[in-house]
Amino acid sequence: MLQQAMIDETGWLRPVPGSGPREPRWGHADGMQIGLHPLGGPRGLIRIFTPYLDHPRDRLVNFIAVEPVPAGQTERGYSELEQSHLDDVPGLRFWSADDPSNPRPRDGDDPARGVVDGDTLTVSILSEPFANGADVWVTATFTRDRPHEVQVAAFARERSVPLETCVLTATMGNWARLRELELAGRTARASELWPDYRGIAFAPHASFGVDELVREGDEIVVRARPDEEDPVGAAYAEGTAEHWHYVGRRGAQEWRAADADPALRAQVNGRHTYWMSEHPLPGGIAFENVELVEPFRQGRAFTFRVEPL
């Protein structure tokens, strides 16, 4: 039984101090939070919780996966899908650390508490190396006056192969049935990008260059939102697993990037059926992965935000 993360004296949600199995969960008391395995869901993924959308405590809104591409290649490593070298089970092992320079693996239920520095809380998320030779880690930083977002940044260790990019991708847009992508001067809709797709795999990526993306001040913003007024009231195909049924309030999910490289692109793919099932989504195809792809820069940070609608 995991000891639940608690609000500490600084007002942050953090793992409780001490020993014994503890919940790997960090963030704002009533705002966005992140978690790691062994919390519910596959390994090799960062969990995103948004309790301010009236979700139950253990209901996550999305995952963020880590997908590095070696220099000169196009094929990604997949943190969720690769077989672990440490214990030979699906999904790379992620663990938390306060000092990311120490790559020693630790158990997921023995989490670091994160580093509080003024108005920020930062936790480092370490990973075992990928099969393609990438050896990367990620930081997640919360800022006190920005309760609905987290900034995530990717780093490569010296022993890593050189990287073309390291994609941090939001992987479960289907649960919220995200179907509209705000672009500069227009909206891209899943039903228009893949009007005839009825398969059970991923529809191919749609990609948008930096000149097609919304700018707000010095930031590029890629915002995906649902098109249903009442997703809770949707009629699901018979046999659809209960965990795919939407609960709570609607939210828009977005990535933000300051100082965008001219080669930056926003990408989405889609699914007609829920993951690992043949059950179609109510209302048709929706985005699954929503991501920004940019040439690798050490410590490059993107902001992931979920705002109520």
Q: 242-282, pLDDT tens digit by residue?
A: 999 999 999 999 999 999 999 999 999 999 999 999 999 99
Closest CA to 71 of 152, 146, 177, 160: 160
Q: 110: pLDDT confidence band, cut at 50, 70 and 90? A: very high
Output the pLDDT for position 1. 87
**3-state secondary structure (DSSP) of residue 254:** strand
Output the pLDDT for position 234. 97
Q: pTM for the whole thing? A: 0.97
Determine whether 246 is exposed, middle or buried from the number of CB atoms within 10 Å of its CB (0-12, 13-18, 19+): buried
Q: For 99-144, give the DSSP string.
A: -TT------TTS----EEETTEEEEEEEEPPPTTS--EEEEEEEET
Residues making up the chain, counted from first to last = 309
Q: Residue 238 pairs with which residues in a beta bridge? A: none
Percentage with pLDDT > 90 across the chain: 98
d(CA 271, CA 201): 7
Mean pLDDT confidence for 48-60:
98
Output the pLDDT for position 167. 98
Helix (H) or strand (E) holding 180: strand 178-183
Percentage with pLDDT > 70 across the chain: 100
d(CA 44, CA 16): 23
